[in-house]
Amino acid sequence: MKRENKTFDELQVGDTAELRRVCTADDLFVFATASGNHNPMHLPGYDLDNDGRKDEVTAPAMWVGSLISAVLGNILPGAGTLYRSQTLDFHARAKAGDDLVVRVRLSQKRPDGTVVFATTVHREEPVELLLSGEAVVAAPQVKLTYEEQDIPGLLVQRHRHFDALVARAEPLAPLTVAVVAPEEPNSLGGALLAARHTLITPILVGSRAKIEAAAKECGESLDGVEILDVADHTAASNMAVDLVADGRAGAVMKGHLHTDELLRAVLRKERGLRTGRRLTHIFVMDVPGLPHPLLVTDAAINIQPDLVTKIDIVQNAIDLAISLGIAQPKVGVLSAVETVNPQIASSVDAALLSKMAERGQIVGGMVDGPLAMDNAIDIAAARTKGIVSPVAGRAEVLVVPNLDAGNMLAKQLTYVSHAEGAGLVMGAKVPIILTSRADSAQARLASCAVAAIHQARIAGEAEARDA
């Protein structure tokens, strides 16, 4: 957009300009980051007036005031304007979602080259004065006509898909979860955080002394939480699986122990949790900028899966995606190429999985492959390659060739694209919540939400069949 400023000589008393702006939740995150003001009154997700609503977000008054500078610096007088002073009187509060109108009116020209503007900010609907004041600025002395700068965009590292999953899981009956060896602050804190959000009812299985020490370290209370004192990790894993076998728990959660110790108990022949389907790991990734969660599988269990294992990998991912609200998941089976090359085994497997889905051997989703990463998730890349498919460019599930590729992809999304990943193992009788010591509290919370939502769907379908 071409812009032109007004110099001091061109300005006339009575000149006016206005700017319209919608206040969004992302604006408030950006302002909190830039200003350092993290007052929860101004951030989504808090219910500070205890009315049960978390969507009534009050915009910081200084963010509203800062909009005046956008009119002065961009429109009137425009480029070259420098502030001398600004008064602000706040009459009402803006909230996320409000349509705001920012106006300035030139009221005085001074001999020293400064000018005075009356400034206001109104809410458009319902009409209400939010702010009034007076700005004194040094007006431009040099005439400038210029193209408005294409400044770099900002990526708000906000995980709205996980927020939605947690909100969806909170009204459900809490899922009773056997938490194995939550003997350090991260694993214990994640379970207790999920309990506070009413996602789970934890049964802590491990060394009582270590669990209590971890609770003290992270300032958590264990009041009302059941603890089964088992010092040995193998014994703790077996006891957690026994709780599921006995009907006391509906999921298992990994704490501070090795994954293989837990899975040995899950896969034992007596009182294990086998179903006849392979255990497979699924990351549910919340990637900023993507309009949907992205499922990546298998990144943690099956090292070099053969075709038979990949069938279960795909089917487990489809089942979980359906639980998360994706009616017909679009599954992209990844390879280095998007055409079948007999020299690249993953491309052959991908083509076979796609055909098996067409023939009903894999059900519930649309499966296509081989697809390279670009044309699996980017519609423009798919069109450039001439790929015509309901999956290409729109994949909601990515099936990787092996564990190396899956682990690298998930960690690239996490550390380069600022994604959060919830981890779940499918294929057992109940979900297995698999978290890492490096996981954030948000990732642990989302993992519990995903497990609770999936298990609620499975339970609901079982009740419907029994009825």
pLDDT of residue 88: 98
Strand 251-254 with 175-180, pairing: parallel
- pLDDT grade for 227, boundaries at 50, 70 and 90: very high
Rg (CA), the chain: 28
Instruction: State pLDDT tens for residues 280-296.
Output: 999 999 998 788 899 99
Q: Is the pLDDT of residue 146 over 90?
A: no
Q: Does residue 372 contact residue 438 with C-beta atoms inside 8 Å?
A: no
Does residue 168 belong to any structural domain of this protein?
no
- pLDDT grade for 49, boundaries at 50, 70 and 90: low
Instruction: State pLDDT tens for residues 297-340.
Output: 999 999 999 999 999 999 999 999 999 999 999 999 999 999 99
- In terms of Cβ atoms closer than 10 Å to its own Cβ (0-12, 13-18, 19+), residue 150 is exposed
Average pLDDT score over residue span 156-166: 82
Does residue 238 belong to any structural domain of this protein?
no
Does residue 233 belong to any structural domain of this protein?
no
Q: Is the pLDDT of residue 360 over 70?
A: yes
- pLDDT grade for 247, boundaries at 50, 70 and 90: very high
Two structure tokens written together for 80: 């070259």
CATH assignment at residue 289: 3.40.718.10
Provide the edge-to-edge strand list for the sheet that holds 16-22: 16-22, 99-109, 114-123, 128-138, 82-90
Q: Does residue 80 contact residue 141 with C-beta atoms inside 8 Å?
A: yes
- pLDDT grade for 240, boundaries at 50, 70 and 90: very high
d(CA 418, CA 416): 6
Average pLDDT score over residue span 254-272: 93
* Average pLDDT for the chain: 92
Local structure of residue 136 (DSSP, 8 states): E
Q: Is the pLDDT of residue 55 over 60?
A: no
Q: Is the pLDDT of residue 45 over 80?
A: no
Q: Is the pLDDT of residue 160 over 90?
A: no
Looking at 96, 130, 147, the residue that finishes a domain is: 147
pLDDT of residue 289: 76
CATH assignment at residue 19: 3.10.129.10
Q: Which of 39-53, 286-300, 337-351 ranks highest by mean pLDDT? A: 337-351
Of 304, 215, 262, 243, nearest to 423 by C-alpha is 262
Does residue 362 belong to any structural domain of this protein?
yes
Q: Is the pLDDT of residue 204 over 60?
A: yes
Of 401, 434, 403, 446, nearest to 263 by C-alpha is 434
Q: Is the pLDDT of residue 440 over 90?
A: no
Q: Is the pLDDT of residue 126 over 90?
A: no
Does residue 218 belong to any structural domain of this protein?
no
Q: Is the pLDDT of residue 150 over 80?
A: no
pLDDT of residue 215: 95
Average pLDDT score over residue span 407-425: 92
> How many C-beta neighbours within 10 Å does residue 219 have?
8
- Name the strand (E) or helix (H) holding 63: helix 61-74
pLDDT of residue 52: 60
Average pLDDT score over residue span 2-23: 94
pLDDT of residue 407: 94
pLDDT of residue 157: 64
Q: Is the pLDDT of residue 51 over 70?
A: no
361 Cβ neighbours under 8 A, 6+ residues apart: 311
- pLDDT grade for 46, boundaries at 50, 70 and 90: low
pLDDT of residue 303: 96
pLDDT of residue 383: 85
pTM (2 d.p.): 0.75
Give one DSSP letter per residue of 364-414, joined into a string.
Answer: SSEEEEEE-HHHHH-HHHHHHTT---SSTTT-SEEE-SSHHHHHHHHHHHH
Does residue 31 belong to any structural domain of this protein?
yes
- The fraction of the chain above a pLDDT of 70, given in percent, is 96
Domain that holds residue 302: 279-427
Q: Is the pLDDT of residue 65 over 90?
A: yes
Q: Is the pLDDT of residue 279 over 60?
A: yes
Instruction: State pLDDT tens for residues 29-41.
Output: 889 999 999 998 8
- pLDDT grade for 43, boundaries at 50, 70 and 90: confident
Local structure of residue 94 (DSSP, 8 states): -
28 Cβ neighbours under 8 A, 6+ residues apart: 42, 43, 44, 57, 59, 60, 63, 96
Average pLDDT score over residue span 411-425: 92
d(CA 245, CA 265): 12
Tally of domains within the chain: 2
Q: Does residue 324 contact residue 165 with C-beta atoms inside 8 Å?
A: yes
pLDDT of residue 48: 61
Does residue 439 belong to any structural domain of this protein?
no
Average pLDDT score over residue span 429-446: 86
Q: How many residues does the chain have?
A: 467
Does residue 341 belong to any structural domain of this protein?
yes
Lowest mean pLDDT among 144-158, 183-197, 283-297, 367-381: 144-158
- pLDDT grade for 439, boundaries at 50, 70 and 90: confident
